[in-house]
Amino acid sequence: MGASLRLATASALVRYLAAQRTPDGHPLIGGVFAIFGHGNVAGLGKALEDGTLPVLRAQNESGMGLAATAYAKAHRRRRLMACTSSIGPGATNLVTPAATARVNRLPLLLLPGEAFADRGPDPVLQQLEDDADPDVSVNDCLRPVSRFFARIHRPEQLIPALDRAMTILMDPVLTGPVSLALPQDVQAEVHDFPASAFAPRVRAPFRPGPDPDQIEAAAQRLRSARRPMVVVGGGVRYSGAEHVLARFLTRGGLPAADTHAGRGALLADHPAWVGGLGVTGSARANACARAADLVLGVGTRFTDFTTGSRALFAEAERVHISVDSWDAAKHEALAIQGDAGLVLKALDAALADHIFPEWAPDGDPVPKHAPPPGTDAAVVAAVRRFAGPDVTVVAASGSLPGELQKAWAPRDHEDYHVEYGFSCMGYEVAGGLGVKLARPDRTVVVLVGDGAYLMLSSEVATAVELEQDLIIVLVDNGGFGCIHRLQKSVGGRPYANLRKGAVDFVAHAQALGAKARRVETDLESALHEAQREKGVQLLLVQTDPEHATEEGGAAWRVPSTE
Q: Per-residue pLDDT tens for 421-455?
A: 999 999 999 999 999 999 999 999 999 999 999 99
**C-alpha radius of gyration, the chain, whole number:** 24
110-163, pLDDT tens digit by residue?
Answer: 999 999 999 999 999 999 999 999 999 999 999 999 999 999 999 999 999 999
Residue type, 116: F
pLDDT at 546: 86
Check: CB of residue 237 under 8 Å from CB of residue 72.
no
Check: CB of residue 183 under 8 Å from CB of residue 152.
yes
Sheet strands side by side (includes 177-183): 55-57, 29-34, 80-85, 108-114, 177-183, 148-151
Residue type, 66: L
Closest to 481 (Cα-Cα) out of 558, 418, 548: 548
Rounded to whole angstroms, the Cα distance separating 37 from 51 reads 19
Contacts of 164 (CB under 8 A, 6+ apart): 148, 150
pLDDT at 2: 86
- My answer on whether omega of the bond before 123 falls inside 30° of 0, hence cis, is yes
3-class SS at 491? coil
Q: How many helices (H) and strands (E) does the chain have?
A: 22, 22
62-71, pLDDT tens digit by residue?
Answer: 999 999 999 9
DSSP per-residue codes, 344-391: HHHHHHHTTT--BPP-PPP--SS--SPPPTTSHHHHHHHHHHH--TTE
pLDDT at 478: 87
**Does pLDDT of 359 surpass 70?**
yes
Percent of the chain with pLDDT over 90: 90
Closest to 125 (Cα-Cα) out of 113, 110, 134: 113
The C-alpha angle with vertex 241 and arms to 271 and 412, in degrees rounded to 5, equals 55
65-89, pLDDT tens digit by residue?
Answer: 999 999 999 999 999 999 999 999 9
Average pLDDT, the chain: 95
